[in-house]
Structure 1
Amino acid sequence: MSTNTRTRTAPGRRAAAAGALLITAATAVALPPAAFAATAGGSGLSVHTGATTAPERARIDAYWTPDRMRLAGALIPEITPVPEDDHTPADPRPLPADTPDPGAVWTHGGAVERSVGRLFFTFSDGYDGSCTAHGGHRPEPLHRRHRPRTACAVPVRRAAADTWRHNLYFVPGYRNGSKPLGGFSVAVMATSSAWDTAATSDEAALGGHDAATAVLNRSADGRRVADVTGSQRIAFSPPREGEFTHAFGYPKDRLNNPEGKYTGSRMIHCAGPVRTSPAAPPLRGTTCDMSHGASGGPQFAAFDTRTGTGTVVGVTTTTEELAGGLPGTLYATALGDAARQLYDWARYLPS
């Protein structure tokens, strides 16, 4: 998980996310930068533009080289070895339904391998970071005249400070420094008023406000992200206590801790019955050893391990160190009214 600043988290320590982001990803909206704010007028959203010109989109696409992506999140990238690639072989057999998994490379294919990816960004101090993103959401029901959109999570800004991340770039299906489905820069992003007014990211996470939204540009070859990720369902109601859920993410704790397990090179899967956080009722958790970098990954209910499809009901935000509960628990912000507001704002933008 990511924190607000690079200096708050010691190597190997898990911490809270810093602003979960529902990324709605179709074509970049055809509005001038100043007009984005007007579209959120009266809604209580805070809007910030990203890459709005062709040269800026091209610069960001070129910025995220294979080694830069591999090292995103390293506290001292200048001396951190480039991590080795993970070549865990694929397993074409579907994972048996309701099989608990505390954390392992996802090798079973399916739609989730296209819709989940890494979201890269640059901190205000110039260092790079990453979290997990998810694309291709469709609400139930989806009005026919609206295109499928995408969602993910990222520390887009610091709470109570006007410090937004930059160079934001979503790579669906990320694997070993590659962009198998292309890369997509962020055109515009928005946070909720509850996130803006929180004193710290921890406060925002515990209150269930760890959410934001963004719209993505087309890739360098002109594709919309929804065209490559496909479509997953999304619901704005929490999973039931004890309901079996699946979480996916790109943790990278070994970049800064030799004892860590993950380097961010492959997508990791966890699964188990969901539990409500004793310290924060809006959060729902399951047994999982993912940590930094997994923030923003989707939590699925009714997940079909044969097809890799399900209903996204939350986005990873923190661990038991903040939210309480049993050791080794990964918590997600359950999608509710605030997430729906953010989602609808982006979904109804002219495009």
Structure 2
Amino acid sequence: MPRATVGALIAVGTLLASALQTGAAGAANGPSANASQSRLASFWTAERMRSATPLDLLPVKAGAVSETVRRGAERLVKPTLPKLPKVPSVREAGGPWTKGGAVVKTAGRVFFTYQGRQASCSGDAVTSANKSTIITAGHCVKLKGAWHKDWVFVPAYHDGQAPYGKWAATKTLSTPQWTASEDINYDVGAAVVGPLDGKKLTDVVGGQGLAFNTGYNKQMYAFGYPAADPYDGKKLIYCSGTTIKDPLLSKDHGLSCNMTGGSSGGPWFTSFDESTGTGLQSSVNSFGYQFLPNTMFGPYFGDDAKNLYEKAQTS
């Protein structure tokens, strides 16, 4: 069945106008950044960030999806932020996040060059041993066999502003399945960024927690910076509600959400506390079905997502 990646895969038209190719080949790891922090900070001007567009939609081959997602023991990583009291989820299909808290600093826009043009996604800073790890979607680091270049993370982005700086990637990675064949069930990517002004990323903006192998049908919050109509990429947008397990071809989470292009790679949280803006990241904005509007899907964080995180945080 046709499907479309959300966020990085829209340049024209609507989010669900086409579908995602899941069969391209790639390398084991993304390239190290070959540009200095200062060069990329100069390259990504306010105007370039404002005008960056999501990537084009791609055709899908329905049979390319894997049969299973490897699952192991549950693992939780606490955020390097306040503790997480449990609060009820409030259903929201897509609206500006106005409650503040840590998420406005840990979430941000991702900018990169793909096929010679500037494009955007979303990402999230997470607790990590190197204090420098960002989780995003696989197609936000690599697509059609090519690793993106000039990759930077801008936490708390707002209308061309970078209040906490532009953090250049020294390394980008994805799950083995996304790297090898761009399998939508494993559309998870990561980036390691270099220090900025002598400081590490999570020392500046904090880091959210993570959750792996926690099952389905969870109350979750999804965040991102959609840039395609009706959004403009200037604000952090969120959706919330109880997820479903994708009843069709994938093994992923589904959530009622109308976020569009540019939101790909934005974090999904369980145990999210609205008062502190903290949670445990357990998926990312990934794709939508053409025939199922206003529903976002995100990959299940199983063993391979956990291994990707471990590799990134120790890089």
Q: TM-score range by the shorter chain?
A: 0.7 to 0.9
1:186 is aligned to 169
Aligned residue pairs total 274
Mapping 1:154-303, distance limit 5 Å:
154-159=139-144, 161=145, 163-198=146-181, 201=182, 204-205=183-184, 208-219=185-196, 221-241=197-217, 243-253=218-228, 260-303=229-272
1:47 is aligned to 29
> CA RMSD, aligned part only?
2.5
Using the alignment, how far apart are the partners of 1:216 and 1:180 within structure 2?
17
Using the alignment, how far apart are the partners of 2:205 and 2:20 within structure 1?
24
Change (3 A) 1:184 1:17: farther
Pairing 1:150–2:134 present: yes
2:300 is aligned to 334
Using the alignment, how far apart are the partners of 1:272 and 1:128 within structure 2?
33
Pairing 1:122–2:122 present: no
**CA displacement 1:54-87 (0-9 Å, x = unmatched):** xx322111011111101110789xxxxxxxxxxx
Equivalent residue in structure 2 for 1:104, among 90, 95, 99: 95
Contact 1:249-1:294 at 8 Å conserved across structures? yes
Contact 1:51-1:57 at 8 Å conserved across structures? no
1:57 is aligned to 37
**CA displacement 1:160-211 (0-9 Å, x = unmatched):** x3x221010000010111001111001012233312332xx4xx11xx1112
1:92 is aligned to none
Pairing 1:135–2:125 present: yes
Using the alignment, how far apart are the partners of 1:330 and 1:196 within structure 2?
22
Q: Which amino acid aligns with 1:293?
A: G
Q: Which amino acid aligns with 1:179?
A: A
Q: CA deviation at 1:327?
A: 2.9
Q: Write out the 4+ residue segments of structure 1 that deviate beyond 4 Å after TM superposition.
A: 15-19
- Segments of 5+ residues of structure 1 without an aligned counterpart are 20-43, 77-95, 139-145, 254-259
1:318 is aligned to 287
TM-score by length of 2: 0.79
Contact 1:18-1:157 at 8 Å conserved across structures? no
Q: CA deviation at 1:267?
A: 0.4
Equivalent residue in structure 1 for 2:13, among 11, 14, 17: 11
Q: Secondary structure at the match of 1:48?
A: coil
Equivalent residue in structure 2 for 1:309, among 278, 289, 296: 278
Contact 1:135-1:152 at 8 Å conserved across structures? no
Using the alignment, how far apart are the partners of 2:162 and 2:283 within structure 1?
25
- Segments of 5+ residues of structure 2 without an aligned counterpart are 1-5, 57-86
Q: Secondary structure at the match of 2:283?
A: strand
Q: CA deviation at 1:342?
A: 1.2
Q: CA deviation at 1:233?
A: 1.1
Q: Which amino acid aligns with 2:151?
A: L
Q: CA deviation at 1:100?
A: 0.8
Q: CA deviation at 1:11?
A: 1.9
Q: Which amino acid aligns with 1:136?
A: V
Using the alignment, how far apart are the partners of 2:123 and 2:157 within structure 1?
10
The share of aligned pairs that are identical, in percent, is 31
Using the alignment, how far apart are the partners of 1:115 and 1:75 within structure 2?
23
Equivalent residue in structure 2 for 1:73, among 31, 53, 56: 53
Contact 2:135-2:189 at 8 Å conserved across structures? no
Using the alignment, how far apart are the partners of 1:18 and 1:268 within structure 2?
26
Contact 1:105-1:267 at 8 Å conserved across structures? yes
Q: Secondary structure at the match of 1:137?
A: coil
Change (3 A) 1:10 1:45: closer
TM-score by length of 1: 0.72
Q: CA deviation at 1:235?
A: 1.0
Q: CA deviation at 1:343?
A: 1.2
Change (3 A) 1:177 1:18: farther
Q: CA deviation at 1:45?
A: 7.3
Q: Which has the larger radius of gyration?
A: 1
1:89 is aligned to none
